Amino acid sequence: MERTLIIIKPDAVERGLIGPIITRFEQRGLKIIGMKMLQVSEELARKHYAVHEGKPFFEPLIEYITASPVVVMALEGPQAVQAARKTIGATKPVEAEAGSIRGDFGMMVGRNLVHGSDSPENGEAEIALWFDPSELLSYERVIDRWILE
């Protein structure tokens, strides 16, 4: 089983899209193993986006992610990263497929609603950055037999 981090970003929170976004991942069959709402500190934002430091969009990105609360989720499932990214849609919302989160709700790259880990390794690293191990649950769902082969 893979794990991936999802951040429901400030624009989605402010637009009242938390529920519909969570629903997309649940309907896909991904299991929520951790979830919380928080105000992102500048320190955490800089750690999370460290790979982009020095790029022209870095400081605006830090300002954006710290501007309003976010919801972070740790999701688990087979090929969770790929499944979540397909559910989220292309980075540029106008290029995202209809039916994806960004395709249905987004307009601009700088307000693209959701972050999803880009690899299983980054999923694990990002989850470790945002969650204490005690905040992650391991449990069996009865419906998994109808989702997983």
Q: What is the pLDDT of residue 142?
A: 93
Q: What is the pLDDT of residue 98?
A: 96
On whether the CB atoms of residues 21 and 8 are closer than 8 A, the answer is yes
Identify the domain containing residue 116 by its residue range: 2-37+70-147
Confidence category of residue 59, pLDDT binned at 50, 70, 90? very high
115 is catalytic: yes
> Residue 55 domain-assigned?
no
Helix axes 80-88, 18-28, angle to 10 degrees: 140
Of the chain, the end-to-end C-alpha distance in Å amounts to: 13
Instruction: Determine which one of 89, 115, 130, 131 is catalytic.
Output: 115
> Residue 56 domain-assigned?
no
> Residue 32 domain-assigned?
yes
The per-residue pLDDT for range 80-138, each reduced to its tens digit, is 999 999 999 999 999 999 999 999 999 999 899 999 999 999 999 999 999 999 999 99
> Residue 30 domain-assigned?
yes
The per-residue pLDDT for range 99-113, each reduced to its tens digit, is 999 999 999 998 999
